[in-house]
Amino acid sequence: MLKLKVNKADMILYVVTDRTWLGKSSLLEQVEDIIKSGATFIQLREKDLSFDEFVKTAKEIKSITDKYKVPFIINDNVDVAVAVDADGVHIGQSDEEIKTAREKLSAYKIIGVSAHSVQEAIKAQQNGADYIGVGAVFNTTTKTDANIVSLEVLKDICNTIKIPVVAIGGISKDNIIKLSGSGVDGVAVISAVFTQLDISKATRELLQLSKQMMNAQ
């Protein structure tokens, strides 16, 4: 029987950080507010920081996720994940990336992999992924070159693989319910939280809507 390293409950509201919209609060303060408001999983996504700055930020965020016992992973950068002893990493599709990540991380760490088709999801599971991020399920401003994954493909992926599946890409409080019946274990959001004036309220609303969406499966 497949032993999951990620509880499906951890996927309900998976929040990916974005410092683009930092206001008066620091990223650290925002992450703590988001976790206290119901975020169940945190991914640190930093595209422009140097390695040392990334590590410094990751250590700060990890102190918060450890405090609240929320899984914490790093986007793309396996070396940063190793340096801060994060719970894992989220990477792209390449076989070599999964293999290399597993060699650098311990067997007990989480590896999440992006997938855009049933074939990619199956391959990622076979190569040792612990969960799949499927998207973009809606148009997104975060990745302007992202191709849209249809609801039917999302359903097929959820029905085919055994590891948890989280939907990502353009998800907001206005469209999340459209994912009902897809079989996903939760949603990953960025701008739906970080662009809001009240990120705590936005997080609480999204958590409620994600649960509502999954209850309608």
Sign of the Cα torsion 184, 130, 122, 191 reads positive
For residue 1, what pLDDT is reported? 43
Write down the pTM of the prediction.
0.94
Single out the catalytic residue among 47, 67, 143, 201. 143
Single out the catalytic residue among 45, 123, 204, 211. 45
* Percent of residues, the chain, with pLDDT higher than 90: 84
CB atoms within 10 A of CB 51: 11
Helix axes of 51-68 and 27-36: crossing angle, nearest 10 degrees? 30
Q: Using alpha carbons, select from 147, 146, 204, 210 the residue that is nearest to residue 184.
A: 210
Task: Grade residue 147 by pLDDT with cuts at 50, 70 and 90.
Answer: confident
- Please name the helix (run of DSSP H) or strand (run of DSSP E) that holds residue 126, with its range, or none: helix 118-126
45 is catalytic: yes
Q: Using alpha carbons, select from 112, 150, 136, 148 the residue that is nearest to residue 190.
A: 136
- Grouping H, G, I as helix, E, B as strand and the rest as coil, residue 39 is coil
Q: CA–CA separation, 109 vs 124, rounded Å?
A: 15
Instruction: Give pLDDT tens digits for 4-24.
Output: 689 999 999 999 999 887 777
Domain covering 8-215 assigned CATH 3.20.20.70 in the classification = yes
Helix axes of 118-126 and 151-160: crossing angle, nearest 10 degrees? 30
Q: CA–CA separation, 169 vs 172, rounded Å?
A: 9
102 is catalytic: no
For residue 20, what pLDDT is reported? 85
Q: Over range 177-189, report the average pLDDT.
A: 97
With contact defined as beta carbons under 8 Å apart, do 76 and 108 qualify?
A: no
Single out the catalytic residue among 114, 172, 191, 210. 114
For residue 140, what pLDDT is reported? 74
CA-derived radius of gyration, the chain: 16
Q: Using alpha carbons, select from 15, 61, 28 the residue that is nearest to residue 204.
A: 15
- Grouping H, G, I as helix, E, B as strand and the rest as coil, residue 110 is strand
With contact defined as beta carbons under 8 Å apart, do 8 and 41 qualify?
A: no
143 is catalytic: yes
Decide if pLDDT at 90 tops 60: yes
With contact defined as beta carbons under 8 Å apart, do 130 and 185 qualify?
A: no
Instruction: Give pLDDT tens digits for 95-124.
Output: 678 999 999 998 999 999 999 999 999 999
Instruction: Give pLDDT tens digits for 185-194.
Output: 999 999 999 9
Q: CA–CA separation, 190 vs 168, rounded Å?
A: 9
Rounded to 5 degrees, what are φ and ψ at 78? -65, -40
CB atoms within 10 A of CB 39: 25
